[in-house]
Amino acid sequence: MTRHAALVIALGAALLVAACAPVYRNHGYVPTDEDLALVEVGKSTRDEVATAIGRPSSSGLLSGGDWYYVGSRWKHFGARAPQEIERQVVAVSFTEAGLVSNVERFGLQDGQVVVLSRRVTESNIRSLGLVRQLMGSLGRVSAGQLLN
């Protein structure tokens, strides 16, 4: 084996090992404990929370209510489906007056699948095949209908 062939094999083996290394991706934003220390329960307002830790990226249904900051870490490994290995949710609750009433942090171990919206229409229509529909129509046609 020549020196050049050994170098090519070593380079190929290094690329093969590097291709099998997992790739980690972070999604979302969760404030740190140091940032959350600036939020005082019973004293801080929505604007003060927005200044201290920022506004959550969620909007719509959450507007006017509690704020939720969600961050997760995903592991991508080759052709396998991505796996969520870490999730944190920080919930900041407000009173009707707009003051912070509670700050909670949840992890992946606390998680539970919750259906936010489910739209299912029950159908009474039975699915009939084409041949069955044609055969069912044969007895309903009279000779008078065919001549007119």
Nearest to 22 by CA among 70, 66, 79: 79
Ranges 23-37, 65-79, 88-102, 129-143: which has the least confidence: 129-143
Query: DSSP string spanning 89-115?
Result: EEEEEE-TTSBEEEEEEEEGGG-----
- Mapped onto helix, strand or coil, the DSSP state of residue 77 is coil
Q: Is the pLDDT of residue 125 over 80?
A: no
Taking the C-alpha atoms of residue 75 and residue 80, their distance in angstroms, rounded to an integer, is 10
Distance of CA 17 to the CA centre of its chain: 31
Span 74-122, pLDDT tens digits: 998 877 888 888 888 888 888 888 889 888 888 877 666 554 444 444 5
- Mapped onto helix, strand or coil, the DSSP state of residue 57 is coil
